[in-house]
Amino acid sequence: MTKNSAAVAAQHTELVSISDGIATVDIAPAAGGAVASYRWWQDGSVADWLRPADPLAISRRDAGAMACFPLVPYSNRVRGGRFEFAGRTVQLPSRPEDPHHEHGHGWRHPWTVVRHEAGTIVLRYRHAADSWPWSYEAEQEITLADGTLSITIAVRNLSDAPMPAGFGLHPYFPSTPWTHVQASVSGMWETDAEILPVRHVPPPAGADPSIGFDVSEVDFDTVFTGWTRRARISWPEHGRQLDMEAEAPLDFLVLYTPPGEPFFCAEPVSNITDAFNRVNDEDTNTGWIMLAPGQRRSACVRFTPSRAV
């Protein structure tokens, strides 16, 4: 076996797939339970609705370079990886490149395949209490039907004490010069130099997601509030569009549009950034969830592509 063929063989062992005859989704359980690609195959052509992972990302099990990864047991950053809850101090690991322990645990660890059928796969991750002093279980059910991708993500508290929590998805979409996004929102969080929230304000007049914006013309790394849990992404030069619809409690939308990159993110999440450090803020809807022992919360996100008319 040549070096290249060995690399290809190793890549395939990293992936499992589901298909419905219209679309195919590749999943990398060992790479944080991430989706590696979501493609339509029609009339001899391929349409990537999410940014596909390349072979190197797959072989490295790099969740951050995948098409979509799960956010558990919270979304985004916790300032300094530290917060107080129920009389205890929680200090999460920090490194210079990750000082705020971003996005929790799920994307950092392998997930187990617990069910795999032609059009459905169920993945599970179990976390034993450590610096995060609660044990919990997270699950993803990933399904294809008529070309639509549905991902249901759930978190269950396995500990004997109440656990603060949040969850969501972190999808990456292809960005082109004309990519357009529309999502009804009512507010947003201004951030400091470390992209942590400091002030709740109205959306920017020149780039209000409710009206719509071209991805190439904005620079967001922003949590939007009052989201109606629907967003439409269109690629007019390709005649394609995708509708993303989330269920409660995924009531916040994070938009990340790094200039010059061939991708952007529109993340349906249940909590604002640094929500655990605002649990006593009665004037702010932070979205953090308290899970009682044994309690489970879940939500589904549906991605429905179509040819634009």
pLDDT in tens, 271-283: 999 999 998 887 8
User: Does residue 217 carry a pLDDT above 60?
Assistant: yes
Q: Please tell me the distance from the alpha carbon of residue 87 to that of residue 71, in angstroms, as a whole number.
A: 25
H helix or E strand, kind and range, residue 31: none
Residue 4's pLDDT band (cuts 50, 70, 90): very low
Residue 51's pLDDT band (cuts 50, 70, 90): very high
Q: Please tell me the distance from the alpha carbon of residue 191 to that of residue 145, in angstroms, as a whole number.
A: 39
pLDDT value for 44: 78
Nearest to 134 by CA among 104, 106, 158: 158
Q: For the ranges 12-16, 128-132, 251-255, which has the lowest average pLDDT?
A: 12-16
User: Does residue 31 carry a pLDDT above 80?
Assistant: yes
In single-letter form, the type of residue at position 231 comes to: A
Q: Please tell me the distance from the alpha carbon of residue 45 to that of residue 238, in angstroms, as a whole number.
A: 12
User: Does residue 114 carry a pLDDT above 60?
Assistant: yes
In single-letter form, the type of residue at position 19 comes to: S
User: Does residue 8 carry a pLDDT above 60?
Assistant: no
Domains annotated for the chain, with CATH where assigned, are: 3-307 (2.70.98.10)
Place of tokens 């992209």: 195
Residue 3's pLDDT band (cuts 50, 70, 90): very low
* pLDDT, average across residues 26-49: 93
pTM: 0.94
DSSP of 209-269:
TTT-EEGGG---EEEEES--SEEEEEEGGGTEEEEEEE-TT--EEEEE--TT-SEEEEEEE
pLDDT value for 281: 82
Count of Cβ atoms closer than 10 Å to residue 70 Cβ: 27
What rounded mean pLDDT belongs to the chain? 94
Residue 7's pLDDT band (cuts 50, 70, 90): very low
Nearest to 266 by CA among 280, 248, 253: 253
User: Does residue 84 carry a pLDDT above 50?
Assistant: yes
pLDDT value for 5: 41
Report, in angstroms and rounded to the nearest whole number, the Rg of the chain calculated over CA atoms: 19
User: Does residue 9 carry a pLDDT above 90?
Assistant: no
| H-assigned helices in the chain | 3-14, 55-60
Q: Please tell me the distance from the alpha carbon of residue 259 to that of residue 65, in angstroms, as a whole number.
A: 17
Q: Please tell me the distance from the alpha carbon of residue 25 to that of residue 40, in angstroms, as a whole number.
A: 9
